[in-house]
Chains A and B, each alone.
Chain A
Amino acid sequence: MTEKHKHVADNHSKKTAKSSGTDDSGNATNAADAPAPAEDTAAAVSLDTAGGAMGPSAVPVSAQSGTLPGGPDTLLRKIFTGSGMVSLLAVLLALVLGGLLIASTDERVGATATYLFARPTDFLLAVWNAATGSYVALFQGSVFNPRGNTAAAQFAPFMETLTIATPLITAGLGVALAFRAGLFNIGAQGQIIMAGILAAWVGFALHLPLGLHLLLVLAAGVIGGAIWGGLVGYLKARTGAHEVILTIMFNYIALYFLRYLLNTPAFQRPGETNPISPILDPTAVYPQILGTQYRLHLGFILAIAATVLVWWLLNRSTIGFEFRAVGANPKAALTAGINVPRATILVMALAGALAGMSGVAQVAGTEKVLTDGVAATYGFDAITVALLGRSTPWGTFAAGLLFGAFRAGAVQMQIQTGTPIDIVLVVQSLIVLFIAAPPLVRALFGLNPRRKKTATAGKSTAAAITGGAA
């Protein structure tokens, strides 16, 4: 695409995107009667046809491109009502609610509650101790353990956090990338599994020299994920089937396929009746980058590289621009001459490839074998990671680190305080729920700037989170 063309398309998509919020259903019904704009006329259509006749928008243009919505408000107001503040408050609120849940099942809290009215301070202290006790253990298990003998042991939890964050980041990037193109990729789970299958097979069945073997494992995994994701994109582009349903179904198909394979001689470890594959060759696994005392492996470096790559792709490349245009308004993108079916297939394949990197990180980095729990719940967590990261590459990276810390710390928390790991799921999902509904968070903290605008605010944030998928 030439520079000029790009500029025209940019204006174009923004203009139409503006109207999509309010006039949406109207558009849909009109389009039902009229034939779809043919592709060949698209180039001839001038700039005004798409945007001209339509009303002003509820969705600010800035929200479409993923940057924070700015306005005439003062800086202070912006800080307190901006999305960064909302994210922070959402995390805080989720942690408080999680703490209350922990406290509600605590024995000491239950004991003090029986004489609540006689000495309420006992009760409140018990609540505080139960919640903070768990969270301190969570922190010590995920970031810094002061009781470690050496500096290495003290930072071991943080290394564990990075290890667990690795698959979360890459799979989250896959989900985020699809979000930006207006697609809900619920299928990271299946893509991780397919990638894991291929990568593991190359890892234990082929015996190749050092270097080449690992490269091939990585390639096999990435291609496996890309095919599984691209297939969804293809079906969507060709038949119009909705990607949410397709990806959910593909997750289960992949899972049962994996379970089948693990019962076949080709994948089952010789002499083993459990569904577990042989251990991958030493030449096929990621090297541990900070020495053998940590599990942290090369996959983390690759995750950083993937983040940079996705950032470049989305913000600096033509194809990324096309993705965002399709996400903002597929009709406008089509009119602007963007090949929407091709973009759909490509973005799903890329999303699958990124999720595939998670699969490789699992089999070649952390686990070194293939079991039917290869994807754990990383594929589903990736959705919350992408949502928390507002579908931006570095936001997803940070969200991946946060949820990685939750996961790593939760293990320690369960050992130390007996609080079940499931609390992480609760906190995680509450965070995403609150972040998705800023008016609710603002109302709870009494920060609602303009009451009448709540509806609009909700809408624009939804678009900002998913980058147009909402």
Chain B
Amino acid sequence: MSTTTTAPRPGTPQPGSTRIQGSSAKPVTWKIPILLAALGLVAFVFFGLMGPNQTAKFGISSAGDFFQLPVIEVPAFLAGIVLSVVLLGLAGYAVYLKTKSQHVPRWLPIAFIVVFVVAFLIWLVGGARTPNISLAGLIAGSVTLAVPLVFGSLSGVLCERVGVVNIAIEGQLLGGAFTAAIVASITKNPFVGLLAAAVAGALVSVVLALFSIKYLVNQIIVGVVLNVLVSGLTGFMFSTVMQADPEQFNSPDRLPIVDIPVLSSIPLIGPILFRQSVVGYLMYIAVIVVWIGLFKTKWGLRVRAVGEHPEAADTLGIKVNATRFWNVTLGGAVAGIGGSFFTLVAIDSFTKEISGGRGFIALAALIFGRWNPIGAFFAALLFGFADNLQSIVTIIGTPVPSQFMAMLPYLVTVLAVAGLVGRSRPPAASGIPYVKG
């Protein structure tokens, strides 16, 4: 039924409210200006007025870099004041646009987020016991932690764009991680493990596709149950097979880190772009391929048509359910590759629940990235950044408890789906099975 889409559909009156959420001509609302102003004030009070009176030091270059850049030293108090004034200025501009009944341009919230994150970081480091972190390490670590998230959210994009809700990302990641570990251990070849991970993710997806497309079982139910099933299966096999003989079944070789000579020595971006594992490089390729595929090819047009209006797509001769089936399967394979990151790149063995809820963060990244591969990529990076900060704040000793850093992605997502941060609109037919005729 129409009530089971993943998020609000502007244009369709929601069951929960009588108010119309606007279709093509969306009325200019006060929501964004007010939110920005509130966040700006928070920044001004906490990062500015109550800011720490220390100098935050950010190392940019790492030891082996091409050339060395000096450490950036930022007086935290002053930077807090300046940046929060910039934030208030941006908020003021949004308010000004509202009074002129103009839409807030897309760059404004993005610029606001970037400045806010920078101000937050300076405040965080400035207030720490040892106000000194390596920016290069922070960013490189964020990208590394974001790898499974990016693959997971790409899987979500592929599935939801074709009209199937994928709550089973967690299961696909976990299945991929497990299969990668066991196959790579048996064959002694991590690349075979990588391939097997993709197959395992695809298999989880085939079950999702079979039940939701052929048997018309509610997609959310199948997704939730599949997560439990994969968790049970991998846990069972881990306890029986892997723990009985870890040498043979749970000691995969790691995928090598491929270092592209000269380029990887560029400060900051070098390690991110040119010193990655195979999975890391695949991530960049996958994001670009999925984006081009979805928005620049005939295939993508068909996929999106099926996800937005299956009846119309069917009328034009597109096989709706077949398209859905193959897309969901492909999505599973992508998430499976992401899962292999846990056991072939991050650490070299499988443990129970190794994905630790990252499938749900990927789901959050998908929504925050507005069902767009590029958006999902940056959202996943942001969440990876939060994840990485969480471990760093415990090391350098900041006033913010690490648990709140861990909570951040989820809070941000709640704000996003509640419509406070722009509009998050899922594909119109997402979650609705298609029955021909």
With A420-B240, A458-B215 as known contacts, state yes or no: A242 contacts B310, CB within 8 Å.
no
Which one, A37, A326, A458, contacts B15 given CB within 8 A? A326
Q: Is the CB of B18 within 8 A of A39?
A: yes
B278 to chain A, nearest CB (A): 30
Q: CB within 8 A of A462: which of B218, B364, B418?
A: B218
Q: How far is the CB of A403 from chain B (nearest CB, A)?
A: 11
Tell me if A24 and B432 are in contact (CB < 8 A): yes
- Are A249 and B414 in contact (CB-based, < 8 A)? yes
Q: How far is the CB of A279 from chain B (nearest CB, A)?
A: 23
Which of A331, A422, A424, A439 has the most chain B CB within a 10 Å cutoff? Answer: A422
B364 to A, closest residue via Cβ: A249
Contact of A237 among B12, B16, B420 (CB under 8 A): B16
A389 to chain B, nearest CB (A): 14
Contacts of A188-231 to chain B: CB distance below 8 A: none
Interface size class on chain A is: 35 or more
B225 touches A432 (CB 8 A): yes
CA–CA, A436 and B216, complex, Å:
9
Residues on A with C-beta less than 8 A from B414 are 235, 241, 246, 249-250, 253
**Is A445 an interface residue when CB atoms closer than 8 A count as contact?**
no
Shortest Cβ distance from B149 into chain A, in angstroms? 14
Contact of B417 among A237, A241, A331 (CB under 8 A): A241
Give how many B residues have a beta carbon under 8 Å from the other chain's beta carbons.
73
Residues 413-452 of A at the B interface (beta carbon under 8 Å): 419-420, 422-426, 428-430, 432-433, 436-437, 439-440
Main secondary structure of the interface of A (DSSP, over half): helix
Query: A251-284, CB under 8 A of B: which get 1 and which 0?
Result: 0110011011001000000000000000000000
Per-residue B-contact encoding for A380-422, CB less than 8 Å = 1, 0 else: 1001100100000000000000000000000000000001101
Contact with A along B216-247 (1 / 0, CB 8 A): 11101110111011011101111111000000
**A340 and B6 in contact, given A241-B418, A425-B235 (Cβ under 8 angstroms):** no
Q: Chain B: which residue is nearest A249 at the CB level?
A: B410
How distant is the Cα of A35 from the Cα of B237 in the complex, in angstroms?
54
Which residues from chain B contact A318 at a C-beta distance below 8 Å? none
0/1 string, A327-347, CB within 8 A of B gives 1: 001110010000011001000
The 6 closest A-B pairs by CB, nearest first: A425-B232, A330-B15, A240-B8, A36-B13, A422-B235, A240-B14
B residues adjacent to A (C-beta < 8 A): 1-9, 11-21, 23, 167, 207, 211, 215-218, 220-222, 224-226, 228-229, 231-233, 235-241, 309-311, 352, 357, 360, 363-364, 367, 401, 403-404, 406-407, 410-411, 413-414, 417-420, 428-429, 432-433, 435
23 contacts between A and B (CB under 8 A): A182-B3, A235-B414, A238-B418, A240-B7, A241-B419, A242-B6, A246-B417, A249-B417, A252-B357, A253-B410, A259-B403, A330-B3, A334-B15, A344-B15, A380-B224, A384-B225, A426-B232, A426-B233, A429-B229, A437-B211, A458-B216, A470-B218, A470-B221
